[in-house]
Structure formats: structure tokens, C-alpha cells
């Protein structure tokens, strides 16, 4: 896996502040603009269940662990999902249940309360880069799973070449691999397009028509 580049500049990022009114929320609201972030305070009250923001990749959420937190993030269909953005936990009480609630919502860095301005950048750096690495690893896993599912297409394409052109399995696979490289496609995707195109069409041309 190619290592991701570390983000050091957060210019233009939106920073959601989900914290009870007080010194910590005030410190974040005053310091974040100095780091070129756009703070977005959310209405929060102690003792009331909070609503997580409609955050997007590239946003950062500062989440107060002393609030009543939901059990997880949910997608538009109401299903549990992973955190959509980097999360920094604000820690007042170090009770394991509070720390676990923050971790379950995706916190990868923590700031003790009351928050001091000099520690905010370090927490940002850790949270954002940890989130980016997790996203990269998930994308790699999704790609591997997709290729595993498409392996059936490779097997079928090899069998078809063996039957039609009297090649052995290794030669058929090598030929498909060369053709996939020429088309600048993975062999799994190439074989899928080959089978979908039928006997009389070039899968490379079929792919070009799809992209047109």
C-alpha cells in the first residue's frame, strides 16, 4: 500500500464544535480561525442527547465527551456507519464509559478540558492523519474484495479461451493479462468486460462507450 501524505495544513476545513458552553468551546472558537479553519459551533446542552452534524470528508469534529452522545454515526438510511470525518474528543471525565463513547464515534485524538490553545494543532494533526490512513486502508480492502468477487470472471474467461482456441490454462491467462495491460485495466475488470461484450466485441471499445 502506498503511504498517504501527511496533512499539515488545514486551511479551509470546516471545524464543527460540539461542546457545552464554557471555556473550552470559547478557546476552540477563537483559536481555530488562527489555524485557517472555519469553526461551526453546534447548539449543545449538558444532559441532552446531541445530534451529530451532517459532516463530510474533510471536516473535523470536536466532540465533548461530557455530553450525552449517540451510540454511533448513522447514514441517511438510518444504518450504523463509520465516522465520516476526523474526530477530536474533548475529555473532562476520564471515566472508561466516556472514553469508549468517544472512541466509538471515531475519536482518534483527545484534548483534556479545559482546552488550551497550544495543544489544538497537535490534536488536529493526529486526528486528521489517522482518519485519512483509515480511509486509505478501507479503500484498499474494498478494492481487494471487489477483485476477489471478480475472480470468477477471470476463471470463466480462461475456460472460454481454452475451449475456443485450444490453449492451456497458463497460456490463456497470460494472453488475458497482456490484453488487460494493453487496455490499461485490471485483469478482473477486463475479463468481466470481455464476457459482457460477447464474442464479437472488443472489451476495450465497450469500456470506451460506457465512459462516453
| CATH number of the domain residue 105 falls in | 3.40.50.2300
Domain boundary among 108, 138, 168: 138
Question: Is residue 9 reached through a cis peptide bond, with omega within 30 degrees of 0 on the bond before it?
Answer: no
In a domain, 197, yes or no: yes
What does pTM read for this prediction? 0.73
In a domain, 4, yes or no: no
Separation CA 185–CA 20 (nearest Å)? 52
Domain boundary among 138, 159, 187: 138
In a domain, 2, yes or no: no
Q: Are 134 and 206 members of one domain?
A: no
In a domain, 5, yes or no: no
Q: Are 58 and 124 members of one domain?
A: yes
pLDDT at 139: 87
Which residues span the domain enclosing 92? 14-138
Separation CA 154–CA 122 (nearest Å)? 47
Q: Are 65 and 152 members of one domain?
A: no
pLDDT at 209: 47
Q: Are 19 and 86 members of one domain?
A: yes
Cell of 106: 471515531
Q: From start to end of 37-135, where are the E strands?
A: 38-41, 60-64, 73-74, 80-81, 86-91, 107-112
Cell of 77: 438510511
Q: Are 114 and 201 members of one domain?
A: no
In a domain, 1, yes or no: no
Q: Are 109 and 169 members of one domain?
A: no
Q: Are 88 and 150 members of one domain?
A: no
In a domain, 160, yes or no: yes
Residue numbers in the chain where pLDDT is lower than 70: 1-4, 199-212
Q: From start to end of 26-164, where are the E strands?
A: 38-41, 60-64, 73-74, 80-81, 86-91, 107-112
In a domain, 90, yes or no: yes
The count of domains in the chain is 2
Cβ proximity of 113 and 94 under 8 Å:
no
Amino acid at each position: 500500500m502506498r503511504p498517504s501524505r501527511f496533512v499539515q495544513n488545514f486551511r479551509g476545513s470546516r471545524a464543527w464544535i460540539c461542546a457545552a458552553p464554557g471555556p473550552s468551546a470559547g478557546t476552540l472558537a477563537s483559536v481555530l480561525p488562527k489555524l485557517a479553519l472555519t469553526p461551526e459551533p453546534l447548539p449543545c446542552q449538558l444532559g441532552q442527547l446531541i445530534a451529530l452534524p451532517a459532516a463530510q470528508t474533510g471536516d473535523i469534529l470536536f466532540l465533548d465527551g461530557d455530553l450525552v452522545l449517540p451510540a454511533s454515526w448513522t447514514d441517511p438510511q438510518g444504518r450504523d456507519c463509520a465516522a465520516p470525518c476526523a474526530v477530536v474528543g474533548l475529555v473532562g471525565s476520564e471515566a472508561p464509559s466516556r472514553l469508549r463513547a468517544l472512541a466509538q464515534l471515531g475519536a482518534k485524538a483527545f484534548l483534556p478540558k479545559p482546552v488550551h490553545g497550544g495543544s489544538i494543532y497537535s490534536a488536529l494533526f493526529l486526528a486528521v492523519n489517522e482518519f485519512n490512513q483509515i480511509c486509505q486502508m478501507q479503500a484498499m480492502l474494498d478494492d481487494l474484495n471487489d477483485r476477489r468477487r471478480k475472480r470468477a470472471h477471470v476463471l470463466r474467461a480462461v475456460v472460454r479461451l481454452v475451449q475456443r482456441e485450444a490453449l492451456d490454462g497458463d497460456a490463456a491467462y497470460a494472453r488475458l493479462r497482456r490484453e488487460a495491460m494493453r487496455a490499461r485495466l485490471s485483469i478482473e475488470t477486463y475479463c468481466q468486460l470481455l464476457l459482457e461484450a460477447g464474442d464479437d466485441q472488443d472489451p476495450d471499445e465497450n469500456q470506451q462507450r460506457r465512459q462516453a
